[in-house]
Structure 1
């Protein structure tokens, strides 16, 4: 289909921008399990959707939401005009949430509370902090006055009419973190020791990030630093210029119809300076704020020997032969390694991904908790046993996140979060994995990390109770009674028993996380480390001593102190103090009665865009729209246009039901120009295609294996014949295929590796023309195998082999060109790329292709062009060999081969979207058919 630049600019760019934002957040809720029913309940400003059984949690969430609404409205001055849709889910074993104004104001709340130190620990109630943060996003991004408001009334909720939604993430997330924080109460990230640690170490690095770095979503250390810098920057603006100036900036920019390009003028009007100058002042402020303290802290630092540095906290466990570390460095496959500190030896035990906890028993092996991502959309943790070099699964979708061996060598005790509540369970590792719950926490009682005493009679845990901070408590496994060990304002976490019966743990008593030991009888506390950043996850390894992980300027560092000495001491009673958080709900909101969920109220279109195009052959006018329901299960995009020059209609319709059903319908037109005797004429070809696909009919092997079905229709006909000349007659045909596809996919992506880091993809597709009317006959069989190997450094090698066979009366396959995307389609796949040759260089009913691609990471720019919406992320390069042949039964096979190289640059568009742009060169070796081809391809994730 031919489109002009005008069509691309209006229909393409705006629709792409809309669908980019839409695709980021429109994740469907998980599939319903047996007898699950969705309900809806609403208040004045919110409509909350939840699964039956979560009525109490839904009531509480609505009360909190209305309270938060009344607290935030004075800051923003105005509330959203319609109710915000909230979806409450309990299908992930991690803590998170999101908010978006598209296609309507909506919030997703994950019920699972945080249980580790990751900056989210400074709250009284997880749901309150989460709602406050996400609703701050909604009120922020919904702001729109003046011309913006007028155009919204015309075009609806197009993302380009939400100015604050299109600002850099550090402004969006920074404001939400600023508004979630209450320093008087000790609440929120900006008053917590974790954020102070992260910013302190940014200054310690000597390279406080500049505005162009923070303006783009990045992979650089520390992870998610646009939250960190954004929060401190917003706080700096408020403290320096007054909160009223911050509000004035928000109000001024909410009237800007042209997104991206007027941020600086709004800042200058509100603060008297543009963002470049404000940021330079902010950098000076940060250096002044931390420099003096850092000098003293560096002089007094007591730190262990560095063993390993990585961008993530490593999961560790002590063992008889050395410390076990699940090494996750962002470059290679996860590997469980045994470190013998005394001898400095590293020994690889096994490879296993997504491990979040582990513990080792000398005689009975290694037990781990691992996160599994399922086809139904759930991400759940389960237990696995590694013994005699074999892995055995102990639980199935049981959601156990932390685990410790009991001293009987048969049972483990594991914790989980379900329905937002903390639980402890005994799990028998040998008797058909029998399980028994031994403790259920009350509402807002959160269990963190724990350890088991040597005699197996008690458990020490970090626990968060209502209106208090994180403290250490002892749990008697026989009486099921908790006993307080500490009662302080510090975040005491990651406790572990020492051989002498003391408890070692991490805490931030003086605002810096360090390692301490507590004598349970005397109540005496000894400080064992003095880090500049912070110290976490202490473990005692026999023969090596204290092992822990420090937060440093370039990552988390695993450290060893073979003979730790006491740096200072105090009585734990001296640290007694209370936060005394107030109740987050002062008034119960008036609510409707719960009723059955219906998608129709949220599914209607909320926006439309014009499609305009004109050239010497056609004049097109049309409209496009999209939408989704609150649960994200129903999603659609529709565009329709009319060519008044040729009286032709075109359309594109996409409907998706969660990740199982996909319907695509498209009609477009192609113009072929012919010239004779100086005169031009053209033929108009009309192409219609339809795809109905049902995925995950059957799934197994951790849902890496999947059976899919599809119906594919492709038809073309001559809509307008050439007006003159002896031109070959047009021959249009209809192909109607029904098929099945079996796929296997265990590929993994890593933080610092371009593309796929390791894994295998296999599919086998069978399609037939015989079930429905078709101008073709017979069957088509295709398969492909793609394997990626992790090479040293940030380099991978991928080998792809593909083959196909079609009956002689079926539609032929085509070989050639550089578009690798068509090979990814399951159904209706009839093209194989071969760079260095023209498209359709070979056509036939049998094919075999081979490709070897070596890709390496070349550099990380991760900078934006000031505050303009263009930046650069990672840069990678690749060299490849393509080879293949397509032939017919009566033809001899002619193998074609090419070699080439490509450079891929990640373009950062609109601060948040990554658009890889590839410039490639390929040389075809065949004397007659081979070409020297230079190509540019642009791919996206939406």
Structure 2
């Protein structure tokens, strides 16, 4: 499809971009009726937002200008052009990202973090988010000397941003360090969550070494590059002073060769390389946390591990589990990262599970003895949005209660007829009363409370009487406290006013409030008796006790943060470890205002993509051999909203006066166009004479995806057209005896796809699910050397087996009219099978490419794949590491034949091992070494093959 030169060059550029970008520049959600995108500028920033978010956008500019002023003395330089900020309300979870390519840009999710999480310790969620992401921009933009000169010549290319190509532990560590304000007490380095995580790393006796953290990916604790990186930067600043950290940043910004000069620059700045510094850092951590660990171990009081007494102990999980009490037993949405998640009832004492139903992306549950189980689930839509909605599980069936209503948390009212659910829209928290009927029968939800942009509502519970609601609430300029809402008067009453992070409140049967808090710097379970104004402590964990639940008949159930993950524990009869008046715990933050001054801004105007869509970079392309001399250039770009994305490469062959060109354009995830014109140079020899036959390959595809969607957008209708033309440009005079057939296939078609596949943290590839496509194409709409129709279908099903093992089956079939282009069978190129339109090749490992051709084909495949191990280590600080290792055995079978002919079934068997190679710390490239044996005695062969795959295209 592409010329060899363009293949090589585009691969290199995509690898380069992948190594430097800390986040994928995903497009914003599709436009919604009546909501226009607007833009507004301040001196150093542009913000792009949907109509209706003007107030938030103005606040973003005010905060961003403040952050720039405060971070400039540290970095000593800042981007010369405006940083593009895009404010989106497309997700029901908190996040953001920043990248310098193809221009300095930040994406902010308008979704405040909730109680109990890493991001909860902040003066203001938007300030924390901007402070973190802009630190990335300031950091990655640092370039002086030769890199800056090359930027001025070639524009914004990945390899000319030295700091963008450093391990994420340095990028994220510095951003977390700079988001933290020690004096005011906010930011992750001041949080009990980070202290808990690092304390348990020290307690494990196996602190991670530098080679592990450099390529942190799936190992526990998840995101540990942030954790270790932040403490490492803090260690460097405390030990050597911030000036030395700044000297390192300045020194490395001059490095023209990325990756290989990190240790040299560290020696010049700190007197030691990073390997030696890391050993000192590990000793520092041991010293810092040893006293606290010794004291906690001496006074530790923990609950029982689930099932330990019967030998059925529950293994720790990498995720906090969603848990709810019920009359039938403790309900757990069990998600361990290697099996298909399921909702089950658990008997904590004997460790017995009773499965209710498979689940997916459950974020909250509430059970009622008569009305069933209500759950909130995150649904990922084709339009690029991820919203929560409510579902009801009754009589073994799920019923959907809301659609795109964004309800994240849910609790039953005592009568079982209604639910109270919370949501966040444009960063503002709300509470709604929801009718517990199916979506086509229920009355419209009624909003009962709406906060403001600086008040964040967290988890909540309904009182046994149904008159009140208790919630974790973060008010402006304060931390997380407990408050009570009267459901009659809709007024809030403060319960606590402390500097602790209080989270996960729920009512005990007697009306007292159960919750988790870090009053002494460690999260433990507490009970508040409002009538007496007293707080009882029920646990004293070494790590932390989170998300407590009272299960009738079992007692207290909570999740302990342990060395290997989150561990479910229970206390049948909790013992009161201490009691103190709530007044003794009171203490206010009173953070200073986030917006220090209102900056000068332009008036909002309609968004235009052109200022950011223009090319910001180029690279020369040169390829010379005895057949050609090709010289050209390549560029790529996108607009601020991430909707328009393109890559353009073109070369001129001076020897043969030929043009090779390639253009790839994509508009969000709906429109894609590829236009390629390339040449192949095939050396031919006859009677001692040699020369080249030059052929031209023109390829064009236009595809429109998701025309119609259904079933949570798992079912989609697509349309596409493909032109694939091969023609002769020139050939030696002696080559006429070796005929070359010019071909021109022009197809237009429709396709229906269904895809409900799921991926799990510790399972290679797909963990469970099914994919189906049915494609119909015709040659009749455009001029073509072929005639008639082509029909194809394929189904792939993956089943989750015990452990980290899956079984995948595939069936494929195709039919082409007699005058249509024939299908080809053979070879090991599985990628061609995934093309939706213009698909004419089916893989059959153990056989040559095109071992069979025909107007019909039928293929079958069975593959057993399993996880073999996790290395997750880098080679020192060189840009090569290894992640997971997996293996598989397979059986391929198929046949291709013409109408009226008998078909001959061919079968191949084989095995392969896949190693995830980590390049440049951030790019994962699965490399597969395989062996295949064709069982047919005449056509089969033994072959050893090596393939490299990845999300490059």
TM bin, normalised by shorter chain, reads over 0.9
Query: Which has the larger displacement, 619-628 or 375-384?
Result: 619-628
1:923 matched to 2:922? The reply is no
- CA displacement 1:485-533 (0-9 Å, x = unmatched): 1110000000010111110100000000000000011111100001000
Q: Which residue of 2 aligns with 1:594?
A: 604
Q: Which residue of 2 aligns with 1:56?
A: 55
Give the C-alpha shift of residue 610 in structure 1.
1.2
Residue 495 (structure 1) aligned to one of 505, 512, 533: 505
**Mapping for residues 887-926 of structure 1, pairs under 5 Å:** 887-926=897-936
**Aligned equivalents of 2:453, 2:662: Cα separation in 1:** 49
**Aligned equivalents of 2:726, 2:401: Cα separation in 1:** 55
Q: Which residue of 2 aligns with 1:255?
A: 254
- CA displacement 1:689-716 (0-9 Å, x = unmatched): 0000000000000000000000100001
Q: Which residue of 2 aligns with 1:375?
A: 382
**Aligned equivalents of 2:452, 2:402: Cα separation in 1:** 24
**Aligned equivalents of 1:8, 1:691: Cα separation in 2:** 17
**1:779·1:810 contact (CA, 8 Å) conserved in 2?**
yes
1:739 matched to 2:749? The reply is yes
**Aligned equivalents of 2:757, 2:718: Cα separation in 1:** 19
**1:525·1:571 contact (CA, 8 Å) conserved in 2?**
yes
Give the C-alpha shift of residue 279 in structure 1.
0.4
**1:355·1:370 contact (CA, 8 Å) conserved in 2?**
yes
**Aligned equivalents of 1:616, 1:875: Cα separation in 2:** 41
Q: Which residue of 1 aligns with 2:496?
A: 486
Q: Which residue of 2 aligns with 1:941?
A: 951
- CA displacement 1:889-925 (0-9 Å, x = unmatched): 1321011000000000000000001000000000001
Q: Which residue of 1 aligns with 2:339?
A: 332
Q: Which residue of 1 aligns with 2:280?
A: 281
**1:605·1:626 contact (CA, 8 Å) conserved in 2?**
yes
**Aligned equivalents of 2:486, 2:855: Cα separation in 1:** 72
Q: Which residue of 2 aligns with 1:315?
A: 322
- Paired residue secondary structure (1:717): strand
TM-score normalised by the chain length of structure 1: 0.99
Give the C-alpha shift of residue 269 in structure 1.
0.6
- CA displacement 1:61-95 (0-9 Å, x = unmatched): 11001111111111111110000000001110000
Give the C-alpha shift of residue 292 in structure 1.
2.7
**1:758·1:788 contact (CA, 8 Å) conserved in 2?**
yes
**Aligned equivalents of 1:761, 1:681: Cα separation in 2:** 47
Residue 579 (structure 1) aligned to one of 575, 584, 589: 589
Q: Which residue of 2 aligns with 1:215?
A: 214
1:532 matched to 2:542? The reply is yes
1:543 matched to 2:553? The reply is yes
Residue 803 (structure 1) aligned to one of 804, 813, 822: 813
Give the C-alpha shift of residue 12 in structure 1.
4.0
Give the C-alpha shift of residue 21 in structure 1.
4.7
- Paired residue secondary structure (2:423): strand
Q: Which residue of 1 aligns with 2:163?
A: 164
Give the C-alpha shift of residue 296 in structure 1.
2.4
Q: Which residue of 2 aligns with 1:677?
A: 687
**Aligned equivalents of 1:497, 1:304: Cα separation in 2:** 20
**1:94·1:114 contact (CA, 8 Å) conserved in 2?**
yes
- Paired residue secondary structure (1:93): coil
- CA displacement 1:282-302 (0-9 Å, x = unmatched): 011111111232122123211
Give the C-alpha shift of residue 342 in structure 1.
4.7
Give the C-alpha shift of residue 433 in structure 1.
4.1
Give the C-alpha shift of residue 737 in structure 1.
0.4
**Aligned equivalents of 1:926, 1:477: Cα separation in 2:** 75
Q: Which residue of 2 aligns with 1:415?
A: 422
**Aligned equivalents of 1:610, 1:569: Cα separation in 2:** 72
**Aligned equivalents of 1:684, 1:387: Cα separation in 2:** 67
**2:797·2:809 contact (CA, 8 Å) conserved in 1?**
yes
Query: Which has the larger displacement, 667-676 or 566-575?
Result: 667-676
**Aligned equivalents of 1:301, 1:705: Cα separation in 2:** 52
Q: Which residue of 1 aligns with 2:779?
A: 769
Q: Which residue of 2 aligns with 1:102?
A: 101
- Paired residue secondary structure (2:293): helix
Q: 1:437 to 1:503 in 2, by over 3 A?
A: same
**Aligned equivalents of 2:462, 2:757: Cα separation in 1:** 36
1:567 matched to 2:566? The reply is no
Q: 1:85 to 1:680 in 2, by over 3 A?
A: same
Q: Which residue of 2 aligns with 1:841?
A: 851
**Aligned equivalents of 1:737, 1:773: Cα separation in 2:** 9
**Aligned equivalents of 2:715, 2:819: Cα separation in 1:** 32
Q: 1:933 to 1:86 in 2, by over 3 A?
A: same
- CA displacement 1:571-610 (0-9 Å, x = unmatched): 0100111111001221110000000000001000001111
**Aligned equivalents of 2:246, 2:303: Cα separation in 1:** 47
**2:3·2:680 contact (CA, 8 Å) conserved in 1?**
no
**Aligned equivalents of 1:20, 1:492: Cα separation in 2:** 39
- Paired residue secondary structure (2:263): helix
Two-structure CA RMSD over aligned residues (Å): 1.3
**Aligned equivalents of 1:550, 1:486: Cα separation in 2:** 24
Residue 637 (structure 1) aligned to one of 623, 635, 647: 647
Give the C-alpha shift of residue 17 in structure 1.
1.2
1:439 matched to 2:449? The reply is yes
**Aligned equivalents of 1:18, 1:204: Cα separation in 2:** 38
**1:876·1:903 contact (CA, 8 Å) conserved in 2?**
yes
Q: Which residue of 2 aligns with 1:204?
A: 203
- CA displacement 1:531-577 (0-9 Å, x = unmatched): 00000110000110000001011000011111110011110100111
Stretches of structure 1 lacking an aligned partner (at least 5 in a row): none
Q: Which residue of 1 aligns with 2:366?
A: 359
**1:696·1:707 contact (CA, 8 Å) conserved in 2?**
yes
Give the C-alpha shift of residue 670 in structure 1.
1.8
- Paired residue secondary structure (1:742): strand
Q: Which residue of 2 aligns with 1:135?
A: 134
**Aligned equivalents of 1:340, 1:220: Cα separation in 2:** 29
- CA displacement 1:301-330 (0-9 Å, x = unmatched): 111111232110000000001100000000
Q: Which residue of 2 aligns with 1:425?
A: 432
- Paired residue secondary structure (2:483): strand
Give the C-alpha shift of residue 671 in structure 1.
2.4
Give the C-alpha shift of residue 345 in structure 1.
2.4
Q: Which residue of 1 aligns with 2:413?
A: 406
- Paired residue secondary structure (1:310): coil
Q: Which residue of 2 aligns with 1:448?
A: 458
Q: Which residue of 2 aligns with 1:267?
A: 266
**Aligned equivalents of 2:39, 2:867: Cα separation in 1:** 48
Q: 1:936 to 1:55 in 2, by over 3 A?
A: same
- Paired residue secondary structure (2:92): coil
Q: Which residue of 2 aligns with 1:74?
A: 73
Number of residues paired by the alignment? 941
Q: Which residue of 2 aligns with 1:303?
A: 302
**1:682·1:723 contact (CA, 8 Å) conserved in 2?**
no
**1:394·1:433 contact (CA, 8 Å) conserved in 2?**
no
Query: Which has the larger displacement, 220-229 or 673-682?
Result: 673-682
**Aligned equivalents of 1:410, 1:418: Cα separation in 2:** 25
- CA displacement 1:867-888 (0-9 Å, x = unmatched): 0000000000000000000000
Q: 1:884 to 1:17 in 2, by over 3 A?
A: same
Q: Which residue of 1 aligns with 2:766?
A: 756
Give the C-alpha shift of residue 460 in structure 1.
0.5
**Aligned equivalents of 2:7, 2:412: Cα separation in 1:** 61
- Paired residue secondary structure (2:119): coil
Stretches of structure 2 lacking an aligned partner (at least 5 in a row): 307-313
Q: 1:891 to 1:695 in 2, by over 3 A?
A: same
**Aligned equivalents of 1:623, 1:61: Cα separation in 2:** 38
**Mapping for residues 494-513 of structure 1, pairs under 5 Å:** 494-513=504-523
Q: 1:19 to 1:570 in 2, by over 3 A?
A: closer
**Aligned equivalents of 2:348, 2:879: Cα separation in 1:** 49
Residue 879 (structure 2) aligned to one of 869, 884, 907: 869
Q: Which residue of 2 aligns with 1:190?
A: 189
